[in-house]
């Protein structure tokens, strides 16, 4: 048995290792060939060429036109979500620098997608993750963790004035939420079309649908938090800030319980989210009352800005109620 030593390399978010040229030649592989990686129970790996097991990578070609670069970007997103392994951007002319930059920025938003070949008129990218080894629950938890951090930091900003750098940091994190969301949607759509993949992921058809809906609620929450952060009022009333902070922490608890209840299918935990939402609404009513009688807002800041913030907080809280509602009821005979 031959042994080869290779140094692990990192490109973007992916880790790569070169393969022995002798093995490449023997299996008649070339640039762009798909290698299947099997992970065994003892944590060892086996490498197989896709030809040896009869699997062909799904490929799609997207025609580049300088008059419709927006369409090209949309098609890249669409091809990724449809589960294509190799996406080729092909042009009959040179791809303009600003268009190339837009296309590549779009690809960076898609987890696991890496550019493997590029010249003046073409960009070829490949999905390098093995869908069968991904864990759906971890992707959902990762989205939830990022969103929770965004929300806590936004609540902390209330009353601190124009902390623009912190605002930018919070808003930028929504991009990572979107990356995880696109990855999960791709995985769910692929599982619908591939029963073998669905079995590997231990997902029934209803599970696939529910995870897709839950991910959508999480993605919406990220967008709501981003909008909330952009329009934060500067509140000086300590009483008002205290009530809003309490409502914010209650919302964080709703999020933690709803996501955990959904993943573990715990109906008792999900019912707690509804109770928390009732308390949240009571706090919102108190905050509205305090804002009517308080001079806590700057004179230049109309009270409508606080009402908009209350509305944003309620939309975020509703996302956790909707996820809790996805938990399957427990039937008894």
**CA 260 to CA 204: how far, in whole Å?**
19
Query: Cα dihedral sign for 282, 284, 289, 294?
Result: positive
Q: Average pLDDT in the 155-179 region?
A: 83
Q: Which residue, 225, 215, 218, is CA-closest to 312?
A: 225
**In CATH, 132-324 is 3.60.110.10:** no
Lowest mean pLDDT among 25-34, 75-84, 107-116, 248-257: 25-34
Q: Give the mean model confidence (pLDDT) for residues 78-107.
A: 91
Q: pLDDT at residue 156 above 70? A: yes
Task: Give the pLDDT confidence of 298-332 residue by residue, as tens digits.
Answer: 444 435 777 788 889 999 999 999 999 999 775 54
Among the four given CATH numbers 1.10.10, 3.30.110, 3.10.310, 1.10.3470, the one describing domain 59-128: 3.30.110
Residues 6+ apart with CB under 8 A from 261: 267, 268, 269, 270, 272, 273, 324, 327
Give backbone dihedrals phi and psi of 176, rounded to 5 degrees, phi first: -70, -35
Q: Residue 220 has which token pair?
A: 């919406």
Global pTM value: 0.77
pLDDT at 99: 93
Distance separating alpha carbons of residues 100 and 62, to the nearest angstrom: 14
Residue 48's region, left for phi above 0, alpha for psi from -120 to 50, else beta, is beta
Tell me which CATH code domain 9-53 carries: 2.10.260
SS3 content of the chain, % helix, strand, coil (to 5): 60, 15, 30
């Amino acid at each position: 048995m031959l042994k080869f030593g290779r140094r692990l390399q990192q490109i973007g978010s992916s880790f790569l290792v070169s393969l022995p040229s002798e093995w490449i030649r023997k299996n008649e592989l070339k640039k762009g060939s798909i290698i299947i990686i099997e992970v065994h129970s003892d944590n060892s790996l086996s490498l197989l060429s896709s030809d040896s097991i009869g699997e062909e990578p799904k490929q799609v070609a997207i025609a580049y036109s300088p008059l419709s670069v927006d369409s090209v970007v949309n098609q890249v997103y669409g091809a990724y979500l449809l589960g294509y392994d190799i996406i080729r951007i092909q042009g009959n002319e040179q791809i303009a620098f600003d268009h190339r930059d837009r296309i590549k920025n779009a690809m960076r938003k898609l987890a696991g997608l890496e550019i493997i070949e590029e010249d003046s008129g073409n960009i070829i990218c490949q999905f390098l993750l093995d869908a069968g080894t991904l864990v759906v629950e971890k992707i959902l938890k990762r989205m939830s963790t990022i969103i929770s951090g965004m929300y806590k930091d936004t609540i902390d900003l209330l009353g601190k004035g124009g902390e623009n750098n912190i605002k930018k940091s919070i808003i930028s994190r929504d991009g990572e939420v979107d990356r995880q969301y696109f990855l999960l949607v791709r995985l769910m759509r692929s599982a619908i079309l591939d029963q073998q993949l669905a079995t590997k992921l231990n997902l029934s058809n209803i599970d696939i649908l529910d995870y897709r809906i839950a991910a959508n609620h999480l993605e919406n929450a990220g967008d709501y938090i981003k909008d909330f952060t952009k329009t934060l009022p500067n509140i000086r009333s300590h009483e008002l800030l205290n009530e809003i902070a309490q409502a914010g922490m209650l919302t964080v608890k709703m999020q933690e319980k709803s996501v955990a209840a959904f993943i573990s299918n715990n109906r008792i935990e999900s019912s707690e989210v509804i109770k928390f939402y009732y308390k949240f609404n009571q706090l919102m009513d108190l905050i509205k009352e305090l804002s009517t009688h308080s001079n806590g807002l700057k004179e230049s800041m109309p009270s409508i800005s606080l009402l908009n913030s209350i509305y944003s907080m309620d939309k975020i809280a509703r996302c956790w109620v909707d996820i809790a509602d996805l938990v399957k009821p427990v039937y008894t005979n």
